[in-house]
């Protein structure tokens, strides 16, 4: 689970909330370093924003927690330091759930996430629509979020040691496997470019 602080976390469980060393530098979020658009694609309207991958690395012993982050657009057209973080939270034993963390600033997170530009996305797919009255935090407000919800959050894929269930091999699923499926869905639907796969391959796994 993302907010777990246990030192006995199973190998397949997300655990990225440990305090960083005092000397750890803050994350460098370069909102201008984005992948170049392929030749033949428009560089003017429709406007684009940048999608970023975030990786929270607790230690080499545990899988890093992966998220996607899209910054808001300021009134002057520049990228804000705050935006929406899309991810799944939970662990491989209990399963995961979708989560949209709105108003999130990686630079204010004491876990110092790794931040890497992944792809450009058209403004119309990530417009910051106001929340309808009574809407929950996990309700989609734009196409990016609708695609995120269309990719099932992983269910339990790790049995407890005391389980009497048959010892069959189960593919371990977590926030990283979900992010791989999410990015693939965005590519398959033509929302982002294939180059996002390269950025995903470079995202720290642990």
Q: In angstroms, rounded to a whole number, what is the distance separating the alpha carbons of residues 96 and 44?
A: 39
- DSSP-derived letter for residue 45 is S
Encoding tokens for residue 56?
A: 């929270």
Give the count of beta carbons closer than 10 Å to the beta carbon of residue 13.
20
Tens digits of pLDDT across the chain (206 residues)? 464 333 444 444 555 433 334 334 444 444 434 444 344 443 444 589 999 999 998 777 888 999 999 999 988 888 999 999 999 999 888 899 999 999 999 999 999 999 999 999 999 999 887 766 655 667 899 999 999 999 999 998 755 444 455 555 557 889 999 999 999 999 999 999 999 999 999 999 98
Say what the pTM is: 0.73
Q: Are 122 and 52 in contact (CB under 8 A)?
A: no
- Angle of the 175-188 helix axis to the 143-150 helix axis, nearest 10: 120
């Amino acid at each position: 689970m993302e907010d777990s602080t246990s030192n006995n976390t199973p190998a397949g469980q997300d655990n990225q909330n440990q305090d960083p060393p005092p000397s750890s530098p803050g994350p460098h979020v370069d909102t201008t370093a984005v992948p170049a658009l392929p030749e033949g694609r428009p560089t003017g309207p429709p406007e684009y924003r940048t999608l970023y991958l975030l990786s929270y690395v607790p230690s080499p012993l545990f899988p890093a927690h992966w998220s996607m982050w899209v910054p808001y657009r300021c009134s002057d057209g520049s990228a804000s330091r705050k935006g929406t973080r899309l991810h799944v939270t939970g662990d491989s034993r209990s399963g995961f759930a979708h989560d949209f963390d709105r108003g999130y600033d990686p630079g204010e997170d004491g876990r110092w996430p790794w931040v890497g530009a992944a792809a450009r996305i058209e403004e119309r797919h990530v417009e910051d629509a106001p929340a309808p009255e009574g809407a929950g935090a996990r309700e989609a407000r734009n196409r990016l979020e609708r695609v995120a919800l269309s990719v099932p959050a992983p269910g339990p894929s790790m049995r407890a040691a005391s389980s009497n269930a048959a010892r069959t091999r189960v593919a371990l699923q977590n926030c990283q496997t979900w992010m791989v499926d999410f990015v693939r869905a965005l590519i398959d639907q033509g929302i982002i470019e294939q180059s996002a796969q390269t950025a995903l391959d470079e995202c720290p796994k642990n």
